[in-house]
Amino acid sequence: MSPVARSPDAVLEVNLAALRSNFETISTFVGPRVEVSAVVKGDAYGLGVEMVSMTLAEAGCRVFFVASINEAITLRSILRGPTVVVFGGGLRRDFDVYSHFELTPVVNNCEDLRFTASVKSLPYFLNVDTGFSRAGLNMEQLRQECLTRTFQRYPPEVIFSHLACAGYSSDVTNSLQRDRFQSIYNLLRPARGSLAASAGAWLGKSYHFDMVRAGSALYGLNTTCVRPSPFQSVINLRAKILEVRNVPDKEAVGYGGTYRTARDSRMAIVGIGYKHGVPWACANKISVLCAGRPAAQVGSIMMDSMAIDVTDIAEVNCQPGSFVDILHRDFTVDDLAAVAHASPHEVLIHLGAGCFKEYITESA
């Protein structure tokens, strides 16, 4: 007799209806003349590129960005029609792969630009550096290529840049980069231009150009300065109670004795820890919902478990095998990251990689 599979201890619930709603929110905000593309690198920020990309394609998304050629090949096996754009390099090395899978490379430097112009068989997106200092051609390099008429002979489909401080609306770096991008846009006169990603879209119409690249906002993260968040939470996180134990007054709980009971207590040991993506730094700082009632997490976050104090919750409501809610509508990834002084992008990707994912399609 074959063994029966054990249900997962930690479940990340991904609401595809909320994902679609966020795409529609961004599309409505920027208006019909601005295309909304989707950034699905890192396995769609950990939420699963197959289900995420299919949902967004059904919602009308026609341009998808990934980080590497391997991610692009995976995405092309899922989506045949939409444009798949690869941020990463290796254009000369992987030229045959780009061509075979009908992928669109991002040109990040003069060497790749000249190679692309020489073969003239691939549409390409041109990355221009306006102040992020990571990749892309700077203004001097662009002028030199204009003098040699590279762009007249083989123009890019899209030019784009990336804002360094889009999450801080008052930062003067934003307007500086916008003005630099506008100058480049005027110089090259491309078919389309794209400056704003998720947070940048909320800086105003002068940042929209022809396309915005939505990433974190699609997944419910609020990197804008808008409060309350205009985006629906896409994930819930729940974990199973493994055991419930009685702990005497003044007893240590977990590594380092960072928490000691102040009374005779009942502790539920829950099957989720830092290997699932819960930050170590949130120990003794968060609460979960047990049967709808708050219960404090106490002691250190362990590799695959943590303790919650259920002393004040009826025993019938916190039995082994039942689940507690860790992330939900009132306590999101953004909130968890803030408690841990971490990036919400980092937390989301780690949770997606560490937890079993369950997809739902009901409206949030």
> pLDDT tens, 98-151?
999 999 999 998 888 888 888 777 899 999 999 887 888 888 888 888 877 888
My answer on whether 248 and 181 are in the same domain is no
Q: What is the CATH number of the domain that holds 326?
A: 2.40.37.10
My answer on whether 188 and 293 are in the same domain is no
- The reply to whether 250 belongs to the active site is no
Weakest mean pLDDT among 33-37, 223-227, 294-298: 223-227
My answer on whether 158 and 250 are in the same domain is no
My answer on whether 84 and 207 are in the same domain is yes
My answer on whether 239 and 194 are in the same domain is no
Answer whether residue 151 is part of any domain. yes
Angstrom distance (rounded) from CA 281 to CA 9: 21
pLDDT reported for residue 58? 97
My answer on whether 183 and 246 are in the same domain is no
Question: Which among 41, 45, 98, 207 is annotated as catalytic?
Answer: 41
My answer on whether 239 and 189 are in the same domain is no
My answer on whether 125 and 193 are in the same domain is yes
- The reply to whether 41 belongs to the active site is yes
End-to-end Cα, the chain, rounded Å: 41
Helix 139-147 to helix 172-188 angle (10° resolution) is 0
Angstrom distance (rounded) from CA 195 to CA 173: 13
Range of the domain at 62: 34-219
My answer on whether 103 and 242 are in the same domain is no
My answer on whether 154 and 242 are in the same domain is no
Burial 80-96 (b: 16+ CB within 10 A, else e): eebbbbbbbbebeebbe
Number of domains in the chain: 2
Q: What is the CATH number of the domain that holds 214?
A: 3.20.20.10
Weakest mean pLDDT among 134-143, 192-201, 285-294: 134-143
Question: Which among 205, 250, 255, 285 is annotated as catalytic?
Answer: 255
Answer whether residue 26 is part of any domain. no
- CA-closest candidate to residue 309, choices 238, 242, 244: 244
Asked which of 168, 188, 219 is the last residue of a domain, the reply is 219
My answer on whether 74 and 214 are in the same domain is yes
Answer whether residue 229 is part of any domain. no
Answer whether residue 16 is part of any domain. no
Answer whether residue 25 is part of any domain. no
Answer whether residue 115 is part of any domain. yes
Residue 265 has pLDDT above 90, yes or no: yes
> pLDDT tens, 149-188?
888 888 999 999 999 999 888 899 999 999 999 999 998 8
My answer on whether 326 and 182 are in the same domain is no
